[in-house]
Amino acid sequence: MFRCGIAYPRCRWILPLLLLFAIIFDIIAIAAQSGWVEDENAKSHYASMWDQCRGRNDNWTCKSLMEYSWAQAVAALMIIGLIILIVAFIISCVALCCTLNVMILPLVGLLLLIVAVLQIIALIIYPVKFNEQIFEGNYNYTWAYGFGWGATIIVLGCTVLFCCLPRYEDDLSGLKKTKYIYTSS
């Protein structure tokens, strides 16, 4: 016999875990020194969120991007988003893992929405301003920039889930019987 159903009590552990992955992805994106963009052909120029470097092999000359106001804004938005994400993670752990407090979940959803908006703005400002002021050829956006988008996508998905979960309080607590999507005879 095959049964396929949704086990809502698993959400109590999976959602904080997803937020933990988003925090890790954000830290990787913010702390990456290998760059958010790199020169496509010569590999002689790369830029992270903090600085840009030019050169070859072991001879690199680095210059801070923090002299540009747009780079300061990107750094501030990403760091503020990370701090709010950490607060949302802590609240979600308390609301879902320690005790089931469904009334706090929309607050977590609101915090995550703020994080998503801040990070989307930062991740759009960076390539636009980089291309306007520093662009000198063909560039590729690297894995570190991708981790920033990965964290943002996880946060957007969790925003929807945290806003919808209060409707399923009985399901989350395990008081309601599992709904089976398909049962075979």
Q: How does pLDDT run across 37-61, given as a tens digit for each residue?
A: 887 765 777 888 888 888 877 787 8
With pLDDT > 90 as the criterion, what percentage of the chain qualifies? 37
With pLDDT > 70 as the criterion, what percentage of the chain qualifies? 81
Domain range spanning residue 112? 9-41+65-183
Q: What is the mean pLDDT of the chain?
A: 82
In-domain check, residue 52: no
Tally of structural domains, the chain: 1
pLDDT of 127 strictly over 60 = yes
In what helix (H) or strand (E) does residue 61 lie, and over which residues does it extend?
strand 59-64
- ∠ CA 28-48-33, nearest 5°, is 55
pLDDT score of 2: 45
Select, from the ranges 12-21, 79-88, 122-131, 170-179, the one with the highest average predicted confidence (pLDDT). 79-88
In-domain check, residue 124: yes
In-domain check, residue 47: no
In-domain check, residue 70: yes
CA distance 71 to 164: 35
In-domain check, residue 58: no
CATH of residue 137's domain is: 1.20.140.150
CB 121 within 8 A of CB 148: no
In-domain check, residue 57: no
In this predicted model, what pLDDT tens digit does every residue of 128-144 receive, in sequence order?
888 887 767 777 888 88
In this predicted model, what pLDDT tens digit does every residue of 46-100 receive, in sequence order?
888 888 888 877 787 888 888 989 999 999 999 999 999 999 999 998 888 777 7
Rounded mean pLDDT, 155-163:
90
CA distance 82 to 119: 9
Give just the sign of the alpha carbon dihedral 121, 126, 128, 129.
positive
In-domain check, residue 2: no
| Other beta carbons less than 10 A from residue 180's beta carbon | 11
Here the tokens at position 56 are 């070859």
Q: How far is CA 174 from CA 6, 8, 15, 153, 158, in A?
A: 12, 8, 16, 29, 21
The alpha carbon of 185 is separated from its chain's Cα centroid by a whole number of angstroms, namely 43
Predicted confidence band at 177 (pLDDT cuts at 50, 70, 90)? low
In-domain check, residue 51: no
CB 5 within 8 A of CB 181: yes
Using the structure block, give the residue that is written with the tokens 């979940």: 105
